[in-house]
């Protein structure tokens, strides 16, 4: 299944298109030797906000109207200054056959408003933020840009209040769960990065290299408006506790406290960078993972469900890349470890009764409901994690893990396709439920009333639960002690 966005609003309808469909003008280019005066004149002539610098049909750089303001006028540079001196060299690009959604994510993630579009190595055109979305508070690009402009925690808190509106807008536009998760997680990344910048501005530059790592749903790019914190810090092996410990204690506390102020509640299990155990140099993280894999007891298996789903948000990504590559080498084909993973995984079963009927919660405040997260989504996440660890595969997002596993020997391609469709169905059911609650002023949760589902939704949910159960049983038979 190819996750796409369905057009339903002016904010998000364009995201169902390929970038090639947004290219309305021929590329506006100049040679790198052109002056900033020639750039400004060319922008005026063609009515554009950027010019690409091209030499021998290869993209050299990009200069925007913002560059002219901030790098030329503000610095009082002469108009004969070569454009190459103030341009963004080797800019990030996309191919014209990629979805427009890719450009939106790229802009939100990097706080940019122009992306050159290529056809192979040749320039095909330019796509801007205004090509993709209206400038409104429910635009991911606008919201990410606003976050990057904030210079105080108070400003970030105000910006974070719009995440609920963003999810509701995306849900109303029938955005796929896959894409919605990427958008919401990208906004969380932006908040995290800005909090990191504010912490460094207050504490000074970090004494050694580090990488701030997102774990759990943020690490998998699967967040919704209801999320807690799962993060950690991997420090360079140059780290010395006596010399550097206090800096990183304060640093992590500021970022985690800031995320809490923005609505990301503290992890109940304290799996956050502000916890000393999860703020360690690379050598210690190596020891952690080696222990979890070699001694897969209950605690180790619980921790793997969080820390095997990690992604770099800010800092020296090579620290995480080294760790991930080593971990995948240790898990590939490790049948004893995988058997423990499977035994732990199948404890979280779909809510089916003895006769294959959906079994709602029978007591407590959620009586009559189904926990879509823990009885539907988490079991699929667990299956995908096991498939990729068994094959030593790199993806972290659940949909991407399933795609990678399709070409392995862990599960049949037909079962993978069914799992992808079921994941999308259950996730969308959850998102629509959360959206309905938020629209009525209630907090988002994961408990949908069984009686509130249509007969079609009940049949789909029952089929999904049966599929998940059968695949759990297949893994249990394959990885026996």
Across all residues in the chain, what is the average pLDDT? 90
- Domain co-membership, 360 together with 422: yes
| Count of the separate structural domains present in the chain | 3
Residue 158 in any domain: the answer is no
Q: What is the pLDDT of residues 331-365, one digit of tens each?
A: 998 999 999 999 999 888 998 988 889 999 999 99
Give the pLDDT score at 130. Answer: 78
Specify the CATH number for the domain of residue 37.
3.10.580.10
Rounded Cα distance, 318 and 460, in Å: 42
Q: What is the pLDDT of residues 159-175, one digit of tens each?
A: 998 898 888 888 887 88
- Domain co-membership, 112 together with 200: no
Query: Which are the contacts of 315, defined by CB distance < 8 A and separation ≥ 6?
Result: 209, 210, 211, 212
Give the pLDDT score at 110. Answer: 84
Q: What is the pLDDT of residues 48-90, one digit of tens each?
A: 999 999 999 899 999 999 999 999 999 999 999 999 999 999 9
Q: What is the pLDDT of residues 372-392, one digit of tens each?
A: 999 999 999 999 999 999 999
- Domain co-membership, 64 together with 81: yes
Q: What is the pLDDT of residues 183-234, one digit of tens each?
A: 999 999 999 999 999 999 999 999 999 999 999 999 999 998 778 899 999 9
- Domain co-membership, 181 together with 326: yes
- Domain co-membership, 185 together with 263: yes
Give the pLDDT score at 131. Answer: 79
Domain end call among 295, 313, 330? 330
- Domain co-membership, 362 together with 474: yes
pLDDT band at 135 (very low <50, low <70, confident <90, very high): very low
- Domain co-membership, 267 together with 377: no
Give the pLDDT score at 310. Answer: 95
Give the pLDDT score at 14. Answer: 47
Rounded Cα distance, 302 and 324, in Å: 18
Residue 148 in any domain: the answer is no
- Domain co-membership, 201 together with 307: yes
Q: What is the pLDDT of residues 225-276, one digit of tens each?
A: 778 899 999 999 999 999 999 999 999 999 999 999 999 999 999 999 999 9
Mean pLDDT of 305-334: 94
- Domain co-membership, 279 together with 216: yes
Strand-pairing partners, residue 64, are 50
Domain end call among 267, 299, 330? 330
Residue 101 in any domain: the answer is yes
Q: Are 190 and 141 in contact (CB under 8 A)?
A: no
- Domain co-membership, 304 together with 215: yes
- Domain co-membership, 247 together with 309: yes
Specify the CATH number for the domain of residue 274.
3.30.460.10
Residue 142 in any domain: the answer is no
- Domain co-membership, 321 together with 368: no
Rounded Cα distance, 428 and 180, in Å: 10
Q: Are 22 and 131 in contact (CB under 8 A)?
A: yes
Residue 73 in any domain: the answer is yes
Give the pLDDT score at 138. Answer: 55
Q: Which one-letter DSSP state was computed for residue 358? A: B
Give the pLDDT score at 149. Answer: 87
Give the pLDDT score at 10. Answer: 35
Residue 213 in any domain: the answer is yes
pLDDT band at 111 (very low <50, low <70, confident <90, very high): confident
Residue-range definition of the domain harbouring residue 41: 13-132
Domain end call among 330, 355, 375? 330
């Amino acid at each position: 299944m190819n996750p796409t966005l369905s057009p339903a609003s002016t904010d998000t309808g364009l995201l169902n298109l390929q970038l090639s469909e947004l290219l309305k003008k021929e590329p506006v280019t100049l040679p790198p030797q052109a002056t900033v005066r020639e750039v400004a004149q060319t922008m005026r002539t063609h009515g554009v906000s950027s010019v690409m610098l091209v030499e021998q049909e290869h993209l050299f750089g990009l200069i925007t109207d913002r560059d002219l303001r901030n790098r030329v006028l503000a610095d009082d540079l002469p108009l004969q200054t070569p454009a190459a001196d103030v341009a963004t060299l080797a800019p990030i690009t996309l191919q014209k056959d990629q979805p427009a959604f890719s450009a939106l994510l790229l802009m939100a993630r990097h706080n940019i408003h122009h992306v050159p579009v290529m056809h192979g190595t040749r320039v095909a055109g330019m796509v801007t933020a205004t090509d993709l979305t209206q400038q409104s508070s429910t635009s991911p690009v606008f919201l990410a840009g606003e976050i990057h402009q904030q210079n105080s925690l108070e400003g970030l808190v105000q910006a974070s209040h719009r995440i609920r509106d963003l999810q509701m807008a995306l849900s109303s536009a029938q955005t796929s769960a896959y894409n919605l998760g990427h958008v919401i997680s990208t906004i969380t990344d932006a908040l995290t990065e800005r909090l990191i910048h504010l912490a460094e501005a207050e504490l000074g530059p970090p004494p050694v290299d580090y990488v701030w790592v997102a774990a759990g749903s943020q690490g998998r790019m699967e967040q919704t408006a209801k999320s807690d914190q799962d993060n950690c810090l991997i420090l360079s092996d140059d780290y010395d506790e006596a010399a550097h410990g206090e800096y990183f204690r304060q640093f992590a506390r500021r970022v985690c406290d800031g995320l809490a102020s923005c609505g990301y509640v503290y992890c109940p299990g304290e799996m956050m960078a502000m916890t000393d155990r999860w703020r360690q140099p690379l050598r210690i993280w190596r020891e952690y993972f080696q222990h979890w894999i070699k001694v897969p007891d209950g605690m180790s298996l619980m921790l793997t469900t969080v820390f095997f789903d990690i992604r770099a948000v800010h800092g020296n990504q090579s620290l995480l890349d080294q760790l991930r590559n080593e971990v995948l080498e240790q898990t590939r084909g490790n049948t004893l470890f995988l058997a423990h993973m499977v035994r732990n995984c199948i404890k979280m079963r779909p809510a089916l009764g003895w006769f294959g009927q959906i079994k709602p919660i029978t007591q407590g405040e959620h009586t009559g409901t189904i926990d879509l997260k823990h009885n539907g989504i988490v079991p699929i996440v667990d299956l995908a994690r096991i498939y990729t660890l068994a094959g030593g595969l790199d993806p972290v997002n659940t949909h991407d893990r399933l795609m990678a596993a399709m070409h392995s020997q862990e599960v049949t391609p037909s079962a993978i396709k069914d799992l992808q469709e079921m994941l999308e169905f259950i996730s969308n059911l959850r998102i629509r439920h959360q959206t309905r609650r938020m629209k009525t002023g209630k907090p988002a949760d994961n408990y949908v009333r069984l009686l509130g589902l249509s007969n079609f939704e009940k049949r789909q949910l029952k089929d999904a639960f049966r599929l998940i159960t059968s695949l759990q049983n297949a893994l249990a038979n394959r990885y026996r002690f």
